Structure 1
Amino acid sequence: MKNSYAKVIVSGSPISKSNFKLSNMNGRAILPYNSGKYYDRYAIYEETIAYEARSQNPKTLICESVIAVLKVFYKSEKRHPDTNNITKSIFDGIEKSGLIVNDAQVTKIIIEEYYDLNNPRFELELFAESKFKMQYSILKKEEEDEPKNYDPPSNKKRLVNQNQNTKVKKSSSNDTIICSICGKKVTNDNIIWANKGTTALCKNCLKKSF
């Protein structure tokens, strides 16, 4: 039966497909499902999504383009996969369920990230574009919340610190900055920084390179 709406809720912490890829002898990426090891987890998760999508929406088929609203609930605020990466995992399972024909049908998507220690899950709603349209707005808060900052991975902290130290040196009026191409002194209003802020170029040399 062709429908214009469907909703799927799958319990458990969402996982990313990219974390479970292996390569065969020819270098081709594969996703094992019966190795008896940790790597089978993704294939099992995809099958779980397919089963839940079909059981929660019996005899439902959406053939046209759809608007998707995805709400992801993680156990932890600090440790979880990138939310942008898990959409592939989820829609592979949804496609396998037969709820949609192909995940290319998703033309608009909203992804929201939440946290629920006791009930990690994802909730997905699909709306047929012939009957629904999407409207959204971003409003400035009357009172600002405490910002949620993200620290760089440990293997990148050293590079970030180096760049920060380099920027401090650049701002010093006593330092002489030399263009790495022509070797001439560069003034603050004629300088372009490249290579993550480690290479100085004058604007004239930059123009000549194009």
Structure 2
Amino acid sequence: MSTYAKVIVPGSPISKSNFKLHNKDGRAILPYNTGKSHDRYALYEEEIAYYARLQNPDTILDESLIAILKVYYKSEKRHPDTANITKSIFDGIEKSGLIVNDAQITKIITEEFYDKENPRFELEFFAESEYEVSYSVLPKKEHGSKKLYSPIRKSNKQKTIKDKIVSNENINSSNMLICEFCNKKIEDSNLIKANGGKTFICRSCFNKLF
């Protein structure tokens, strides 16, 4: 078995959606053919799996691993939280068959960079049987400029989502539930709830996800 692999996936990395559905066996899934924005997370995993297997066609890593992840965003001001993108990346890698299970990754070092012309992520795996990682944090000889962060303000899109949830709650109180996908009224017998009970789906649209 191999002890090293590297994966480079072009494009701006995205974080995994909090939107989740559960199939008939109770397993969490991400829809990919609804025509809604939720699809992009599942499709991104598929893209990662494609590049991982294309770049490592005969490689299988089956032992505990050290992961070095370098994320290159297009914009320094607008991008996902780096801490939140690892899940979608590692799920895509697992889907490719390059690793057996993302539980193999026992050490992760993540670095954030910016590349307007070539956003991407670069991921390296090192088998712990042959490699070890060390790091140190040292004071700078000369202090650099501070990169300051402000509290996140709610965007119009976030307000719209919140208003939609409130609207659905109001609809729920009057027994008029609207499907997230087809925007039609849902009878109680055909109702399926997702996203912590905030999203309503008719059984017909739910079955189309499989």
Query: TM-score scaled by structure 1?
Result: 0.69
The secondary structure found in structure 2 opposite 1:63 is coil
How far 1:25 sits from its partner (Å)? 11
Cα deviation, residue 14, structure 1? 0.6
Q: CA deviation at 1:46?
A: 0.4
Asked if residue 37 in structure 1 is aligned to residue 36 in structure 2, the reply is yes
Task: Give a deviation string over 1:72-111, Cα, whole Å, max 9, x none.
Answer: 0011111111101100000000000000000000000100
Cα distance in 2 for residues equivalent to 1:44 and 1:154 = 29
Q: Which consecutive unaligned segments of at least 5 residues does structure 1 have? A: 156-210
Partner of 2:132: 133
Instruction: Provide structure 2 residue ranges, at least 5 long, that are not aligned to the other structure.
Output: 155-210
Which amino acid in 2 is paired with 1:74? Y
Identity of aligned residues (%): 69
Q: Report the Cα offset of residue 36 of structure 1.
A: 2.0
The one-letter code matched in structure 1 to 2:17 is S
Does 2:110 align with 1:111?
Answer: yes
Shift of 1:139: 1.6
- Give 3-state SS (helix, strand or coil) of 1:18's partner: coil
- Alignment match, 1:100: 99
Aligned residues of 2:23 and 2:29 also touching (Cα < 8 A): no
For residue 154 of structure 1, report the CA deviation from its aligned partner.
Answer: 2.3
Match of 1:54 in 2: 53
What is the DSSP-based 3-state SS (H/G/I as helix, E as strand, rest coil) of the residue aligned with 2:17? helix
Does the residue aligned with 2:109 lie in a helix, a strand or coil?
Answer: strand
What is the CA–CA distance in structure 2 between the aligned matches of 1:50 and 1:24, rounded to whole Å? 22
Q: Distance in 1 between matches of 2:22 and 2:88?
A: 21
Rounded to whole Å, the distance in 2 between the matches of 1:131 and 1:28 is 36
Letter in 2 for 1:89: S
Give the distance between the partners of 2:52 and 2:78, measured in 1 at CA. Answer: 27
Q: Is 1:154 matched with 2:141?
A: no
Structure 1 counterpart of 2:194: none
Task: Indicate how the Cα distance of structure 1 residues 18 and 38 shifts in structure 2: closer, same or farther if over 3 A, else same.
Answer: closer
Quick one: structure 1 residues 74 and 99, their matched pair in 2 at CA, closer, same or farther if it must change by over 3 Å?
same
**TM-score (ref. length: structure 2):** 0.69
* Aligned alpha-carbon RMSD (Å): 2.0
Tell me the SS of whatever aligns to 2:122: strand
Query: Where does residue 8 of structure 2 map in the other structure?
Result: 9
1:3-50 deviations in whole A, cap 9, x for unaligned?
Answer: 00000000011111135x245799986411011222211111100100
1:109-161 Cα shifts (integer Å, max 9, x gaps) = 10000011111100000000000000111121111110001001125xxxxxx
Matches of 2:87 and 2:110, distance apart in 1: 12
Closer/same/farther in 2, CA of residues 60 and 38 from structure 1, 3 Å limit = same
Larger radius of gyration: 1
